[in-house]
């Protein structure tokens, strides 16, 4: 850095030539600071005073430029703006706050069983951690788990899958969302019988699809009327979501009614069915659970979602899965990988 002093009657100037922007003189930056002239002014005092004035000037410019900055764009995507917050979560959080304040609360919001995870499962989880099973698993889930799920679906539900037709996710909720994202295009319609789990329509909106709500009647035990379904299917209909046993009504679809629905679905090549069977074991006689994919001709167009949250009180473990034809499941696996 070159420094020069130029004295006049009233003014002393200190010039700084900074080589930091390049090695040639054309790229140097010259800074000139005016100071009062004192007869006994030392070079050190000039240098100190100039540094102070330079800092003040720099701070002033910084403050000026910050006030002139354009405000940050805080807008959100239309996709997110179209989605409503989960009412289930809101009610659950409110109930938790009341309970913490000492208010007696009967919680009927989130689907939380009133018993703990069975001891044999809890111990198996603890032992797995102790044995070092804490690292990344395959994206779709461990082969052992997917093989066990295949066995379960064959023995309990009468539907056959291979491990590459299973994807294990962080709960059935994630499995459903990935399925909707995998099969729905913008403008497609997702048919949802009401009353419904509040997340279904929002998942459709996240996929830029349109939820089509079909009301049910208490006189029909809140079960979907096949004629109403048929009259609302269009060329845009891509997905029918069935939940049996139902959240929130508890109704269970009889096999004969599911067969009538399957006959209607079979007439429309674009229409797929997402069968949410997470509550299959929360059931009481004489009702019996039937997996939609087990019906004639429905395996090819059904995505079956289930998990361990309800039957085994493993809600906090976040463990669910989806089963279906390989091309759909591969798409869900691709989404999950990201």
CA-to-CA distance for 184 and 190, rounded, in angstroms?
8
pLDDT for 112:
84
Domain that holds residue 250: 137-337
Nearest-10 crossing angle of helices 326-337, 172-183: 110
- The answer to whether residues 79 and 205 touch, using CB atoms and an 8 Å cutoff, is yes
Does the residue 53 lie in any domain? no
Nearest one of 331, 275, 330 to 299, comparing CA atoms? 275
| Terminal C-alpha separation, the chain | 52
195: preceding bond cis by omega (within 30 degrees): yes
Does the residue 103 lie in any domain? no
Q: What is the mean pLDDT of residues 41-57?
A: 53
Does the residue 167 lie in any domain? yes
Confidence band for 109, pLDDT divided at 50, 70 and 90: confident
Q: Which residues contact 247 (CB under 8 A, 6 or more apart)?
A: 111, 197, 276, 278, 279
Q: What is the mean pLDDT of residues 83-111?
A: 88
Q: What is the mean pLDDT of residues 17-32?
A: 42
Does the residue 255 lie in any domain? yes
Does the residue 165 lie in any domain? yes
pLDDT digits (tens, 9 = 90+) for 191-203: 999 999 999 999 9
What letter would DSSP give residue 2? Answer: E
Tell me the residue ranges of DSSP E strands in 103-226: 166-169, 189-194, 210-215
The torsion angles phi and psi of 207, rounded to 5 degrees, stand at -90, 10
b/e string for 85-101 if b means 16 or more Cβ within 10 A? ebebeeebeebeeeeee
3-state percent helix, strand, coil for the chain, nearest multiple of 5: 40, 20, 40
- Check whether 133 has a pLDDT greater than 90: yes
**Structural domains of the chain, count:** 1
Confidence band for 16, pLDDT divided at 50, 70 and 90: very low
Percent of the chain beyond pLDDT 70? 80
pLDDT for 62:
55
pLDDT for 85:
82
- Check whether 18 has a pLDDT greater than 50: no
| Alpha helix ranges (H) inside 42-168 | 43-67, 78-81, 87-100, 119-130, 143-152
Q: How many CB atoms lie within 10 A of CB 177?
A: 21
Does the residue 72 lie in any domain? no
Does the residue 283 lie in any domain? yes
- The answer to whether residues 216 and 194 touch, using CB atoms and an 8 Å cutoff, is yes
Does the residue 42 lie in any domain? no
> Residue 314 maps to which CATH number?
3.40.640.10
b/e string for 127-136 if b means 16 or more Cβ within 10 A? eeeeeeeeee
- Check whether 284 has a pLDDT greater than 50: yes
- Check whether 147 has a pLDDT greater than 90: yes
């Amino acid at each position: 850095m070159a420094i020069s002093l130029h004295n006049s009657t009233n003014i002393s100037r200190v010039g700084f030539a900074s080589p930091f922007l390049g090695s040639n003189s054309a790229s140097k930056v010259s800074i000139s600071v005016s100071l009062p002239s004192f007869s006994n002014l030392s070079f050190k005092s000039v240098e100190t005073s100039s540094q102070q004035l330079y800092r003040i000037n720099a701070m002033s410019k910084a403050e000026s430029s910050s006030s002139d900055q354009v405000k940050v764009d805080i807008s959100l995507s239309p996709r997110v703006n179209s989605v409503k917050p989960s009412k289930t979560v809101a009610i659950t959080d409110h109930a938790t706050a009341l309970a913490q304040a000492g208010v007696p609360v009967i919680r009927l919001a989130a689907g939380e069983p009133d018993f703990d995870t069975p001891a044999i499962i809890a111990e198996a989880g603890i032992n797995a951690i102790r044995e070092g099973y804490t690292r990344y698993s395959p994206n779709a889930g461990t082969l052992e788990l997917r093989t066990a799920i295949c066995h379960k679906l064959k023995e309990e539900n009468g539907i056959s899958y291979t491990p590459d037709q299973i994807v294990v996710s962080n709960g059935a909720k994630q499995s459903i969302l990935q399925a909707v994202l995998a099969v729905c295009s913008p403008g497609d319609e997702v048919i949802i019988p009401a009353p419904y789990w509040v997340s279904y329509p929002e998942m459709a909106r996240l996929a830029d699809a349109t939820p089509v709500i079909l009301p049910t009647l208490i006189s029909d035990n809140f079960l979907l009327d096949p004629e109403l379904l048929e009259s609302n299917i269009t060329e845009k209909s891509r997905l029918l979501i069935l939940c049996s046993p139902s959240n929130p009504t508890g109704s269970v679809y009889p096999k004969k009614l599911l067969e009538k629905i399957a006959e209607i679905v079979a007439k429309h090549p674009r229409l797929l069915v997402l069968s949410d069977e997470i509550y299959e074991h929360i059931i009481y006689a004489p009702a019996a659970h039937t997996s939609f994919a087990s019906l004639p001709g429905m395996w090819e167009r059904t995505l079956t979602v289930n998990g361990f949250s309800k039957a085994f009180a493993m809600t906090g473990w976040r463990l669910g899965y989806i089963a279906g034809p390989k091309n759909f499941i591969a798409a869900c696996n691709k989404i999950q990988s990201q």
